[in-house]
Every structure is written in C-alpha cells, then in structure tokens.
Structure 1
Amino acid sequence: MSAWSFEAYIGIPLAAVVLFLLLSDISFLQKFACKLSNLSLTVGNYGISLSLAMVSIAFTLFFSQWMTLRDLDSMKDAQLSDLTTVELQDRDRNEVSIGDGFTHSGISSFLMKAWRAERNWWISLFSLTLWLMVWRSATWVQGLLDEEQKNQQKGESGLTGDLKMKEKTEGAPVTAASQKKSASSKTTSEVDMTNMKK
C-alpha cells in the first residue's frame, strides 16, 4: 500500500469519522473519539498520540508534494516557456520533437506527473486540515468533558444543574417577604413604563 493509498483510503476517512464523533454532542461518542484520537502509538521509548502522528504524516506528505510541484514548475518554466497547454494538446500524438529535446510523449509524461503531483498536494492538504481539526477538537472536547465531570462531582451538572435549581426555586413555598418583593418589582416596572410614555 502506497502512502497515497493509505492517506486516501484510511487517513482521510478515519479523520472524518473521528471529527464527526467529536462534534456530535453525544457524550459517549465524544469520549470514544477522544480516546481514539489520543490513542498512544509507541515507537521505542517515545509515545505519540494517533492524531499527532497523522498530522506529522500528512505534513510530511504535503511538504514533499509542495517540493515536487516547485521542481516541476521550475522545469516547466525553463523548458516549456513558449508553449501553452492548448498548443501542446493540438500537436500530433506522434514522437515529434518540440524543441529542447522534448518529444510529445515526454510532454505527456510531464503533464501526467504535474497532474499527479497536484492531486497528491490537494489530498495531503485536505488530510492535514482534517487531522489538525481532529487534534484541536479532541483537546477542546476533552477539556469540556473533564469540566463537566468536575461539575457533576460537585453536585452541579451544567445546564441540567441550572434547571434543577430553577425547579427548586419555583417549587419553594411562597412567603410574605417574597410576595412583597414581587409586588414592589411590579410597581417599579409600572412606574418605569409610565415615565417612558411621557
């Protein structure tokens, strides 16, 4: 399996699935995605997370294709400066020499290499972008999950804790002091409304 097959058939789909799980807002799926992206790959005495390893691989492939494209561009500028792609395609498909030792099949080979390098550049850029998003999203979601777990241990649970507090206050018995407070707030708001009308 080549690096590009690995990237196209394993790296990108895996990143898309993990990113989808991280952004799903379902806690057990987010926990699974965080564990998957933080899965430790050990090489010798060194350990690295899956997401960071895939970012490194994608960056290496991206950089190598960028260098290849740069070399192909300089080669094109040097040897094919006066011929456009349309002119090259309009020529006969025979082995006709087109200046500077290039034959038509050589030009076709050059264009094929350029197309492949551009395709691989876009694949590697897409993979790099996805894995960077997975890496950062996993860190962010893990922090949110840790915070939620701390709040649950304290007896608060984020939004559901706020709703429970509201239910408790709504279900609390009505006292004379709370009635006076609500009556005074009503009269204050009525006075404000009459002042606004004037």
Structure 2
Amino acid sequence: MASVWSFIAWICAPIAATLCILLLSGVVMLERLGQAMHSARLTSPSDSPGSGRVVTFITLVTLVLFAYESVDLQKMRSTQAATSPYQVQMEDRWKMNLWRHQRNWWISLSNITLWIVCWRVSQLIAYYRKRIEQLKMSIKSQ
C-alpha cells in the first residue's frame, strides 16, 4: 500500500499542480496544453463504455483511497478507547499508525481538491472560449 501513496504523493499531485498552473497561467498556448492534458483519454482496444478520461480515473481512485483512509481513521479512534493505558509500546505503535493514516488522509484530500480544481478550471476555460467564439460570430453577422 505504501507504493500507492508514493504514487499519489510524488506523481499524481505534482501532475495536478502542474495542470492547474498551466490552466491558470493566462497564456493561451499553455492553457491549450493544459486542456489537452486534461482531456487525455484512457483507451481500450474495443473502445468499451468503461474508457474515460485520465483525470476522472485518477480522481475516482483518489476518492476511494480517501474513503478508505477515513474509515481506517475512524477504526483507529474507536480502538484507542479499548486499549490499556499501561502498554507504552502499544501506544507508541498506535500513535505511529495514527500519524501515517492522518498523513495519507491529508494527501488524498489535497489530491482530490487539486484534480477537482483542474476539472472546474478546464470547464470554465472551455466555456469562456466557446462564448468568445459565439460573440465573434454575432459581431461578424451584424
């Protein structure tokens, strides 16, 4: 499971941050590059209905991991009350596991936030460009 969190923290989050920077740069060429990255699709040989965008896949995986960590944190908090306060070694191990689950929870929450922001900014830019084209066409027709 550690490799999953390393992938999320060191690959997915920097990609999302870079994508947000590209989309919010204000430079048309960089915005288009960001939108092209955002609209990249997962393809399958049969083009099945299960194929979709990479962004959607990463967001859903991160959402599942976030839910998993939330459940684990709730379990840990409920087991804290059941443990004996006289076992110092067990308390240290419990604190170590609690810290790790909290860290993973925050990593997944920040990753979800970044990918959702990228998705929304990409939609806004697409709407903005479409609206500009409509206005240019209406001006030309007058």
TM-score (norm 2): 0.86
Structure with more helix by fraction: 2
1:52 to 42, 52, 56: 56
User: Partner residue of 1:133?
Assistant: 117
* Whole-angstrom distance in 2 between the partners of 1:141 and 1:50: 19
1:3/1:156 CA distance change after superposition, 3 Å: farther
Displacement of 1:106 in angstroms is 2.0
Contact 1:24 1:30 in 2 (8 A): yes
Structure 2 gaps of 5+ residues are none
Task: Point out which structure has higher relative CO (alpha carbons under 8 A, 6+ apart).
Answer: 2
Structure with more strand by fraction: 1
Specify the SS of the correspondent of 1:48.
coil
Displacement of 1:146 in angstroms is 2.6
Displacement of 1:110 in angstroms is 1.1
TM-score (norm 1): 0.63
Displacement of 1:149 in angstroms is 3.7
**Number of residue pairs the alignment of both structures matches:** 136
Structure 1 gaps of 5+ residues are 84-97, 158-198
* Whole-angstrom distance in 1 between the partners of 2:133 and 2:4: 40
After superposing on structure 2, the runs of 4+ consecutive aligned residues of structure 1 that deviate more than 6 Å are none
User: Partner residue of 1:106?
Assistant: 90
Q: In the TM superposition, what are the counterparts of 1:61-100 in structure 2 within 5 Å?
A: 61-80=65-84, 83=85, 98=86
Displacement of 1:42 in angstroms is 2.6
User: Partner residue of 1:24?
Assistant: 25
State the percentage of identical aligned residues.
Answer: 26
Q: In structure 2, give the amino acid aligned to 1:48.
A: G
Root-mean-square deviation (CA), in Å?
2.0
Displacement of 1:56 in angstroms is 0.5
| Higher Rg | 1
Tell me the alpha carbon deviations over residues 38-91 of structure 1, each in whole angstroms, 9 at most, x when there is no partner. Answer: 1111356122112211211110111010010000000002225xx5xxxxxxxx
Contact 1:31 1:142 in 2 (8 A): no
Q: In structure 1, give the amino acid aligned to 2:117.
A: M
